[in-house]
C-alpha cells in the first residue's frame, strides 16, 4: 500500500524534475525561540484547557478533542474528520498518543514539531475555522479563565499573549499523551508469556514472513513500530496518474505564491493524495505518506491517510499485497497464520487511561471534529 511501481515513477520523474528545479517549498519556523514556561505543570494544564475548548472555533462547537477523543485513544473513529459547520475533510485522524516521539507532524510531514503544527487546525477552514490569529487571541481575551492560566504558566497578561504562546501550551499538553504499556512491551522486556501463543506466532509472521518490521520498526523495549519515513500509497498514485500534469502546475503556482497548504490538503482530494510531494515537490514523494505507529492499532479503524480501509483484517491484506510487491514475490499466509498476525496486532493495545474533558461546552463525542491530520 506504500509503493508506486518503478515503471509508473519513471514516466513521471522527467516531467516533474523541471518544476522542482525552479520552485522552492514554502516553509514555516513558527514556535522557535520562545521562552520556557514559568511553571511547566501550569503550562500543561493551560494546554489541556485549550485542547478541550470548543469556543476556539468558528461555530463554538469544535475543539481539538472533537477529533482526538480520549475514549478512542485520541482518534475519532471516522474515515474523514468533521470540522466547523460539520464540514467533512479528506484525511483520516491519527491517534495523538506518543505524538511527541514523532519526527514530523501530519500524514505528509509538513510540520517539523508540535509547536509548529499546533495552530494549523485552529486556522484551517475545514477544521476550527478561525479567520486569523487575531480572532484566536480575541476569543482568549474574552474568557476570564485564561487570565490566571497564562499568568501561572508563562507570567503573561492576556494583553501580551502571542499565538506562539498558545502553540507552546498546546504542545506542552500533547507531550503528556503517552500510550500505556502493552503485552508486546512486556514480551520484549523478557516476559515470555506476555503474548498468547497465537500472538507469539503472529510476531514471527510479522517480523519474518511478512517482513513488516522493515517499515514498522521495532526499536528498544517500547517501540512505536514506525520508521518515521514516507512511503508511496499505490491506490493514490493510480488515482493521480492521469491528473499529475495539471496537478504539478497547480502545486508549483501555490509554492510561488507562498500559500499555506492546510486548507488545500483537507479540501482538495488531488492535493491530499499527492501526499508529501505537495510540500517537497520531489518526484520520489508522489503519493507518499508517513508510516503510522502501530501502537493501539486495533482501536484506530478506519485505516490509511484517507480512511479508505475499514477493518484491521483488510489493512493486513493490503499490507501483505504491498510487501509482496516490494519483495517481488507474493506473501502467502495460511488462514491460521493470518489469524496469528491479527492476534499480534491486537496485542499492541495498551493500557491507556481515559481522560475527563473540560466540562465547558458539548462533550467531545458529540462535537463535529477537527485537529491534527
pTM over 0.75: yes
70 and 85, same domain (yes or no): yes
Dist CA 207 CA 370 (whole Å): 35
Dist CA 290 CA 227 (whole Å): 9
Residue that has been written with the C-alpha cell 514556561 in this structure = 37
The candidate with the shortest Cα–Cα distance to 270, out of 227, 231, 241, is 241
Q: Given this model, what pLDDT does residue 5 score? A: 43
Determine the 3-state secondary structure of 52 from DSSP: coil
CA–CA–CA angle 168, 171, 176 (5° rounding) = 135
Q: Given this model, what pLDDT does residue 164 score? A: 96
323 and 198, same domain (yes or no): yes
CATH number at residue 198: 1.10.760.10
Q: What is the DSSP letter of 13?
A: H
161 and 275, same domain (yes or no): no
Residue 302: cis peptide before it, omega within 30 degrees of 0: yes
Q: Given this model, what pLDDT does residue 6 score? A: 41
Q: Given this model, what pLDDT does residue 46 score? A: 98
The three grid cell numbers given for residue 198, joined into one nine-digit string: 497465537
Q: Given this model, what pLDDT does residue 85 score? A: 94
**pLDDT per residue over 61-116, tens digit each?**
999 999 999 999 999 999 999 999 999 999 999 999 999 999 999 999 999 999 99
Whether 154 maps to a domain, the answer reads: yes
DSSP 41-56: HHHHHHHHHHHT-TTS
192 and 338, same domain (yes or no): yes
**pLDDT per residue over 286-328, tens digit each?**
999 999 999 999 999 999 999 999 999 999 999 998 888 877 8
Q: Given this model, what pLDDT does residue 353 score? A: 56
Residue that has been written with the C-alpha cell 485505516 in this structure = 303
Residues 147, 152, 156, 162, CA torsion sign: negative
The DSSP H or E segment spanning 249 is helix 244-256
Neighbours of 111 (CB within 10 A): 22
DSSP 150-177: HHHHHS--GGG--HHHHHHHHHHHHTT-
Q: Given this model, what pLDDT does residue 266 score? A: 83
Q: Indicate the residue among 266, 289, 312 that finishes a domain.
A: 289
Whether 365 maps to a domain, the answer reads: no
Whether 32 maps to a domain, the answer reads: no
Beta-strand runs (E) in the chain = 230-232, 288-290
145 and 195, same domain (yes or no): no
103 and 239, same domain (yes or no): no
| Host domain of residue 323 | 183-221+297-346
Q: Given this model, what pLDDT does residue 267 score? A: 84
64 and 142, same domain (yes or no): yes
189 and 204, same domain (yes or no): yes
Which residues in the chain show pLDDT less than 70? Answer: 1-35, 260-261, 352-373
Amino acid at each position: 500500500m506504500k509503493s508506486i511501481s518503478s515503471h509508473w515513477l519513471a514516466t513521471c520523474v522527467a516531467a516533474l524534475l523541471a518544476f522542482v528545479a525552479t520552485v522552492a517549498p514554502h516553509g514555516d519556523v513558527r514556535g522557535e525561540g520562545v521562552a520556557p514556561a514559568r511553571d511547566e505543570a501550569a503550562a500543561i494544564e493551560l494546554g489541556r484547557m485549550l485542547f478541550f475548548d470548543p469556543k476556539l472555533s468558528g461555530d463554538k462547537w469544535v475543539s481539538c478533542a472533537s477529533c482526538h477523543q480520549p475514549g478512542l485513544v485520541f482518534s475519532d473513529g471516522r474515515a474523514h474528520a468533521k470540522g466547523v459547520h460539520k464540514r467533512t475533510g479528506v484525511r483520516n485522524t491519527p491517534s495523538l498518543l506518543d505524538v511527541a516521539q514523532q519526527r514530523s507532524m501530519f500524514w505528509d510531514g509538513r510540520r517539523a514539531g508540535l509547536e509548529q503544527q499546533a495552530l494549523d487546525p485552529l486556522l484551517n477552514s475545514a477544521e476550527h475555522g478561525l479567520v486569523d490569529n487575531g480572532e484566536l487571541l480575541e476569543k482568549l481575551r474574552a474568557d476570564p479563565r485564561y487570565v490566571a492560566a497564562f499568568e501561572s504558566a508563562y507570567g503573561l497578561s492576556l494583553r501580551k499573549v502571542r499565538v506562539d504562546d498558545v502553540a507552546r501550551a498546546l504542545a506542552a499538553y500533547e507531550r503528556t499523551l503517552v500510550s500505556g504499556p502493552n503485552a508486546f512491551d512486556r514480551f520484549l522486556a523478557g516476559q515470555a508469556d506476555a503474548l498468547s501463543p497465537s500472538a507469539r506466532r503472529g510476531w514471527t509472521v510479522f517480523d519474518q514472513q511478512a517482513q513488516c518490521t522493515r517499515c514498522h520498526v521495532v526499536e528498544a523495549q517500547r517501540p512505536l513500530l514506525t520508521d518515521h519515513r514516507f512511503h508511496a500509497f499505490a491506490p493514490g498514485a493510480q488515482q493521480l496518474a492521469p491528473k499529475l500534469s495539471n496537478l504539478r502546475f497547480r502545486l508549483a503556482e501555490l509554492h510561488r505564491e507562498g500559500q499555506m497548504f492546510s486548507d488545500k490538503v483537507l479540501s482538495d482530494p488531488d492535493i491530499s493524495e499527492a501526499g508529501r510531494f505537495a510540500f517537497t515537490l520531489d518526484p520520489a514523494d508522489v503519493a507518499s505518506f508517513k508510516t503510522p505507529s502501530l501502537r493501539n492499532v486495533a482501536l484506530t479503524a478506519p485505516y490509511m491517510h484517507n480512511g479508505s480501509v475499514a477493518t484491521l483484517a483488510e489493512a493486513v491484506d493490503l499490507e501483505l499485497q504491498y510487501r509482496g510487491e516490494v519483495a517481488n514475490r507474493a506473501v502467502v499466509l495460511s488462514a491460521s497464520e493470518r489469524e496469528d498476525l491479527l492476534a499480534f496486532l491486537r496485542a499492541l493495545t495498551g493500557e491507556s487511561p481515559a481522560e475527563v474533558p473540560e466540562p465547558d461546552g458539548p462533550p467531545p463525542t458529540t462535537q463535529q471534529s477537527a485537529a491534527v491530520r
